[in-house]
Amino acid sequence: MSDKIAALAGLLEARLGPDAEAVAIANAELTVTLPATGLMAAALMLRDDPELGFDTLIDLCGIDYLGYGGDQWKTEPATMTGFSRGVAAPEGESFRNADRPFRFAVAYHLLSVEHNHRLRLRVFCEDPDYPRLESVVDVWPAANWFEREAFDLFGILFDGHPDLRRLLTDYGFVGHPFRKDFPLSGHVEVRYDPERGRVVYEPVSIEPRTLVPRVIRDDARYADEQEG
């Protein structure tokens, strides 16, 4: 941990006080977790405080923590069973992690050009079924398209956004493809129908299947190649 990052973490703890749920440093990166109710006040402070000066929003992205921390893959025997977005939970069960009350979060990656500080701000959405946060477009205008992308792919709503509509998916698309319970094959497929003379949408014909991950075994079969 560098002295600069540690000093920035201490400064943020002093400025945010009890409003900060967590201030953590990992891999030389600083992450501050805030409740949804404190997002706007913290955003303005982070931008306007002369010792912080986070004037640039580099990126904004949604996060789906569905099943986070749960090991669903049986990698040692490399079986054909396991968890993927294309597999439904068994009847009466859920992939939701009971130890994590919030499913969706938004990560804001901030930069202070003047001080050369970088910060990841993480805010959890309180409602897992209808996730929503306040828009930060008025604080960082660059959030406009980023929030539209998070809405399109994760279904996270941003209250106060000037033009919140889909950005990457097709017109009339149903669902949010980056949610972990969205099937890998999707719900519909597209093809050109020569008889109708137009593109048509039909229910997807690919059966959902479980993918087997790459398995790393603890043996020395490739030790000689690695040493060479």
| pLDDT, tens digit (0-9, with 9 covering 90-100), for 29-52 | 999 999 999 999 999 999 999 999
CA dihedral (158, 161, 163, 169) positive or negative: negative
Pick the CATH number of 3-227 from 3.30.429.10, 3.65.10.10, 2.40.37.10, 3.30.460.80: 3.30.460.80
189 versus 227: which is more confidently predicted? Answer: 189
If you average pLDDT over each of 3-7, 113-117, 199-203, which comes out highest? 113-117
Contacts of 201 (CB under 8 A, 6+ apart): 172, 188, 189, 190
Q: Count of alpha carbons within 13 Å of 119, Cβ hemisphere only?
A: 32
The ranges assigned to domains in the chain are: 3-227
Question: Is residue 30 a contact partner of residue 1, using CB atoms and an 8 Å limit?
Answer: no
Average confidence (pLDDT) over 197-211: 78
Average confidence (pLDDT) over 118-138: 95
Q: Strand 104-112 to strand 56-64: parallel, antiparallel, or no bridges (unpaired)?
A: antiparallel
Percentage above 70 pLDDT, the chain: 76
The residue to which tokens 């306007």 are assigned: 48
38 versus 221: which is more confidently predicted? Answer: 38
158 versus 210: which is more confidently predicted? Answer: 158
- The model's pLDDT over 49-71, given as tens digits with 9 standing for 90+, comes to 999 999 999 999 999 988 776 65
Average confidence (pLDDT) over 133-161: 97
Q: Count of alpha carbons within 13 Å of 186, Cβ hemisphere only?
A: 14
Percentage above 90 pLDDT, the chain: 56
Q: Strand 117-124 to strand 188-193: parallel, antiparallel, or no bridges (unpaired)?
A: unpaired
Looking at the whole model, is its pTM more than 0.95? no
Cα gap 8→117, rounded to integer Å: 8
The confidence score (pLDDT) of residue 90 equals: 55
Residue 12: which of 40, 32, 35 has the closest Cα? 32
